[in-house]
Structure 1
Amino acid sequence: MKLKAFFTLLLGLAILQVNAQPTVKPDMVKTNKGQLKIQPITHGSLVLQWNGKTIYVDPYGGSELYKGIAKPDLVLITDIHPDHLDTKTLDGLTLEGIKMVVPQAVADQLPEKYKSQAVVISNGQSTNQLGIPIAAIPMYNLPEAADAKHVKGRGNGYILNIGGKNVYISGDTEDIPEMRALKNVDVAFVSMNLPYTMDINQAASGVLEFKPKVIYPYHYRGTDGLADVEAFKKMVNDQDKNIEVRLRNWYPEAAKNKAAEVKKK
């Protein structure tokens, strides 16, 4: 009986461990120093793992989404909105002594316990963390206006050079000139959700201009639901088949709900 109870316990722990893993499988990108592992989390949140280091980008949605993933060695935060600066999620993670690369507006709103961990950079500035060069790129709405949801200079997009690969994280932006002028981007994460950022037409136009080798549509939930990323992919590849558009499920709960609705019909 004791042996049976032991195996039952092991089975239970295995089930818990499986349930703790992220619901979307990670992708791999080859660099000049091993593989870069890309783990979509939800909305604008992702995890990058390379050379034994783990980077959380805009941790959001609850710390339980990060179960089964190594604790961060670095955190990047793009903006002050709660789907980027999510203090509840931060509080649920193991962040003691971990640097957070942030714009000044985010640093100003960080809880006191995190302020000493902030590495503040503004648009056009850069820092080197974990041996990875990180540059802050503008992110903002068009046309520029004082009452825009994202004003120029407040938030940061980021470009990280990881093992010789340039990784662009757009943050909440439209197809601004600074994005369209980017060069030599290997992997890009580009937002597309109205009315907060841009529609798929603007996103496709911007992507076709700066031509990343790989593009992930992310941050694509707007007030009217999820953007049509399949249509975005078609727009891009109808004009440039060399751009690899990777569609991943950043909203597994929405997909689950949709499947349940179809089943009811």
Structure 2
Amino acid sequence: MLLTKFTHACVRLEKENKVLVFDPGTFSETDQALAGADAVLITHEHPDHLDVDAVVAALLGSDTLQLFAPAGVAAQLRDKAADAGSRIHPVAPGEDFEVAGFAVRSFGGQHALIHPQIPVVANIGYFVDSNVYHPGDSFIVPDGVEVRTLLVPIHAPWNKVGEVVDFVIGVRAPKAFPIHDALLNESGRSLVEGHVTRFGAKYGTDYRHLSSGDSVEV
């Protein structure tokens, strides 16, 4: 399976001529990420994870594109893309489904806390093909599964470096790659990734930096 990272939290998976896209948001190259996509998984409603206009255009421009998202997000998109409503599916934690040949399990439930005065929204983490785990904006460690490829939110208004490291240690996936990094400059990125690389290695995780547009087989 080919994994391609785009800016911030957007990731594209390809296998057997099928394409699944996580979180095409406003920070990301949504046109590239969504080109030829068969399925889209949205973790939560924040614009850096969901470019509503781009996703609606993709849904209306296709007769087959399927989208899965928390219930509130799914309802919002149905209002804007009524003609594609039957292809927009609500997801809750603890569900298993298959789309475009990808097997998906959902985890989590809510976004990490940013501040007590900022409402917490629904957030779904997705585990694909017993391999790739995208947690969205959370550090939920998926229970009952062995993650082989972890996508790590390395910087956000809701996290700190120690929590990032503990998440990587907790999941203990053999491979890990960055997401949620658009707010970092190169100095900040090197600092965070240095800690993740060093401590991850102690617990069996090989962390590798990916820039936007980079691809790797997983």
Q: Same fold (TM over 0.5)?
A: yes
Which residue of structure 1 lines up, in the alignment, with residue 19 of structure 2?
Answer: 54
In 2, distance between residues paired with 1:149 and 1:134?
A: 28
Instruction: Say whether the 8 Å CA contact 1:214–1:244 is kept in structure 2.
Output: yes
Distance 1:235 1:42 in 2: 21
Q: In the alignment, which residue of structure 1 is the partner of 2:64?
A: 97
2:123 matched to 1:155? Answer: yes
Moved more, 208-217 or 239-248: 239-248
Q: Distance in 2 between matches of 1:61 and 1:160?
A: 23
Say if 2:146 and 2:173, in contact at 8 Å, map to a contact too. Answer: yes
Shift of 1:227: 8.1
Tell me, in whole angstroms, the C-alpha distance in 1 between the residues paired with 2:153 and 2:4.
16
Identity in percent = 22
Measured after TM superposition, the shift of residue 64 of structure 1 is 6.3
**Higher RCO (Cα < 8 Å, 6 or more apart):** 2
Supply the RMSD in Å over aligned alpha carbons.
3.0
Q: In structure 2, what is the Cα distance between the partners aligned to 1:118 and 1:169? A: 20
Aligned-pair CA distance for 1:166: 1.6
**Amino acid of the residue matched to residue 126 of structure 2?**
Y
For 2:209, the equivalent position in structure 1 comes to: 247
Structure 1 length-normalised TM? 0.67
Q: 1:168–1:185: 8 Å Cα contact kept in structure 2?
A: yes
1:205 has 2:153 as partner: no
Aligned to 1:106: 73
Matched, 1:235 2:200: no
Q: 1:125 matched to which residue of 2?
A: 95
Please say which of residues 79-88 and 207-216 is displaced more in the overlay.
79-88
2:47 counterpart of 1:86: no
Shift of 1:92: 4.4
How many residues are aligned here? 206
Structure-2-length-normalised TM-score: 0.80
CA change 1:218–1:166 in 2 (3 A) is same
